Chains A and B, each alone.
Chain A
Amino acid sequence: MSILLNKDSKVLVQGITGRSGLFHARMCREYGTQIVAGVTPGKGGVHVEGIPVFNTVEEAVRYTQANVSMIFVPPPSAADAILEAADAGLELAVCITEGIPVRDMVPVKRILADHKMKLVGPNCPGLITPEESKVGIMPGYIHKKGKIGVVSRSGTLTYEAVKQLTDAGLGQSTCVGIGGDPIIGLNFIDCLKLFNDDPKTEAVFMIGEIGGSAEEEAAEWVKAHMKKPVAAFIAGVTAPPGRRMGHAGAIVTGGKGKAADKIATLRNCGVNVADSPTRMGEAMRQILEKGKS
């Protein structure tokens, strides 16, 4: 088992005729993902690399029974693309697009609350259930099938973490890059819940970074509900304090967001936090061994 994605997932690609859309559709298919359709308004009826292209998501779903979308639509139309996927009744949309304005995402997030579709991203590397299916831009070869769930706000730092896990002999059930934008679909807690309920996930590795308070909230959730061991890494311990404008940000977050605070909260909630980005795999192994002894 896994979360969100498996070998039976039927994936359509919104924005398949763009450069990165086509490239990554091909990479995902080579990994084993069932890419069943593409959607580009105005290009319906053509085939790219043997994949049928439709004008709308609804049409693509009707002909191919796709249940997952991977979105590569450029920022000005990306919010619309997410809503179209939700409206067509998909189960999951993974939005890779970077640079969507906040003002566009605020209503999207609000409208998605009334749909069953889950959103991963935007501005994320996507997700992968190793040796089954990949919907994203991460390199497949660093992953190995196994029992660790990975959830991360970062892109390439996730690859670093996954590689360390694989090198330590710790395969992964599913790895989810939730994205680094201010407004995202699934958050840390949503993914932790899914991993908690997934019988094949035995432990979770979480990768966070400075800013916001998502890691602190996830830590509290772990303390209250998580049945499985959790290890983590927080990037930015030595990042310099940034310049800022005004006071509103500080009032909203109550001064949270520093790496040291996040790490302290996670540790207080029983999460094993790696003290160095070179020891992420080791931190995972430590807490697994501790559980066994």
Chain B
Amino acid sequence: MNIHEYQAKEILSGYDIAVPRGRVCLTADQVERAAKMMGGHCVVKAQIYAGGRGKAGGVKVVHHPEQAQELAKELFARKLVTPQTGPEGLRVRRILVEEAVEIAREFYLSITLDRGASRYILIASAEGGVEIEEVAAKTPDKIHKLTIDPLTGLRSYQARKIALALGLTGSLCEDCVELILSLYRACLEKDCALVEVNPLVVTKAGWLMAMDAKMSFDDNAIYRHREYPDMVDYSQLDTLEITAGKYDLAYIKLDGTIGCLVNGAGLAMATLDVLNECGGKPANFLDVGGGASREKVAEAFKIILQDPDVKGIFVNIFGGIMRCDVIAQGVIEAANEVHCPLPIVVRMDGSQVEEGKRLLTTSGLNVQCADNLGDGAQRIVKMLG
């Protein structure tokens, strides 16, 4: 689960990490008022669930409140496309107005999971700013990494090595040690999948400040943070993806015409692969979960049919322990309930597969049964011509 920069900064300031004074705004008029409060000279920052905003024009320094208002109008009216949003871009519904801070030096600092090591890893660099991935690729020695032993936690001396490697000395070095320890504490207590401060700056006035912050949470841990569901900005998510999320279905909209309903993420990906191989274009990725319960199949049908681009549906369920006649009944009930007018190809595997096929072919639906994965993909592609 992602959150916005302003929300991440609120959390970090709760851990005694300094952030610029700022206000989040929902309208251009609010942006103008906020700019006045900051004294006119301020930074206007579009809030979207992705990085790379600066180069896309989503972050600008302005000098007058009117200028802030004009910029806000423009940002609210369009989608921001950055290297991290995908080509469709993201709508801007919230803007953060912050005081302009004079910067002396910029750093990069983040904590995330190192899957290879099965531990959290702290990443730091004195080359902070927008080109950090390039720095990592071209000059890896400028990236400092520290994998954290969960049993000892992050120790001050380890944080100090990082701070010194960033070139910080004296009291700034000790402030950075505190900041790094706070960041790790926030990462654990808030169940972060990522916490990234880029840039972390030394201001001209001489102290450390988190100028930008990104935070995302471990979806598996949301149950122990009651406040998280209310922090979601639904404007950043696809409407069908939101509905799917309510029913615990994994749905991703794609740009083709074949609606896909599959159980299990790996099999769902393989289904997209085989449809493409047969010359078909999938309209979505949809995983109803390994168990494929009747209720989830029904909800999945509804979601697929809400997509106007869908011209046919491919159901691929490897039931395993679940009986195929039960799955078939689920498909029939769901298709009838939503009055599915589109051609459907069903590939199922599991016990009672013949009975399942008989139920489907006598159901009166526009449905074909496939013998296996390849056969199913070919049939639906052929049916749609």
Contact = CB atoms under 8 A, between A and B. Distances in A.
A binds B: yes
Interface of A: 27, 75-76, 99-103, 105-107, 109-111, 125, 137-139, 141-142, 152-160, 163, 180, 182-183, 207, 209-210, 212-214, 217, 233, 235-255, 276-278
B151 A156 contact: no
B320 A107 contact: no
Given A75-B220, A182-B113, A251 B320 contact: no
B115 interface: yes
A123 B270 CA distance: 19
Contacts of A27: 321
Contacts of B349: 142, 159-160, 163
A248 B318 contact: no
A248 B114 CA distance: 10
Given A210-B269, A237-B273, 9 more contacts: A101-B224, A102-B193, A105-B118, A156-B320, A235-B267, A238-B276, A244-B84, A249-B194, A254-B137
Contact of B320 (A105, A139, A209, A238): A139
Interface stretch (B174-182, B258-266, B303-311): B258-266
A100 B220 contact: yes
Interface in B321-377: 321, 349-351, 372-374, 377
Q: Which 5 A-B pairs have the closest CB atoms?
A: A154-B266, A156-B264, A157-B266, A278-B374, A277-B270
B85 A243 contact: yes
Interface in B217-238: 218, 220-221, 223-224
Given A110-B151, A276-B277, A102 B218 contact: yes
B351 A141 contact: yes
Contacts of B29: none
B291 to A, nearest CB: 9
Contacts of A254: 136-137
Nearest to A255: B137
Interface stretch (B20-28, B30-38, B66-74, B119-127): B119-127
Contact of A252 (B123, B224, B267): B123
Contacts of A155: 264-267, 290
A251 B143 contact: yes
Contacts of A157: 264, 266-267, 269-270
A245 B216 contact: yes
22 contacts: A76-B224, A99-B220, A101-B218, A103-B188, A110-B119, A142-B349, A157-B267, A182-B113, A182-B115, A214-B116, A235-B270, A239-B285, A240-B252, A241-B86, A243-B49, A248-B112, A249-B194, A251-B110, A251-B136, A252-B115, A252-B116, A254-B136
Contacts of B257: none
B84 A243 contact: yes
A278 B320 contact: no
A38 to B, nearest CB: 19
Contacts of B170: none
Interface in B152-194: 188, 191, 193-194
B153 to A, nearest CB: 10
Interface of B: 2, 49-51, 84-86, 108, 110-116, 118-121, 123, 132-133, 136-137, 143, 149-151, 188, 191, 193-194, 196, 198, 214, 216, 218, 220-221, 223-224, 252, 254, 262-267, 269-274, 276-277, 282, 285, 290, 318-321, 349-351, 372-374, 377
Contacts of B373: 160, 277-278
Contact of A159 (B149, B274, B320): B320
Contacts of B114: 252
A236 B269 CA distance: 5
Nearest to A141: B351
Nearest to B190: A103
B318 A160 contact: yes
Contacts of B151: 107, 110-111
A245 B321 contact: no
B225 to A, nearest CB: 10
Which of B115, B196, B264, B351 has the most chain A CB within a 10 Å cutoff? B115
A238 B196 CA distance: 30
Contacts of B274: 276-278
Contacts of A141: 351
Contacts of A138: 320-321
A105 B218 CA distance: 12
B272 A75 contact: no
B318 A102 contact: no
A102 B86 contact: no
Contact of B118 (A106, A213, A249): A106
B349 to A, nearest CB: 7
Contacts of A107: 150-151
A154 B264 CA distance: 8
A103 B218 CA distance: 9
Which of A27, A180, A237 has the most chain B CB within a 10 Å cutoff? A237
A244 B50 contact: yes
A210 B377 CA distance: 21
A261 to B, nearest CB: 14
Contacts of A247: 51, 108, 110, 132-133, 136, 196, 198
A141 B320 CA distance: 9
A185 to B, nearest CB: 10
B270 A160 contact: yes
Contacts of A160: 267, 270, 318, 349, 373
Contact of B267 (A109, A110, A156, A249): A156
B238 to A, nearest CB: 10
Which of A105, A152, A252, A255 has the most chain B CB within a 10 Å cutoff? A252
A103 B222 CA distance: 12
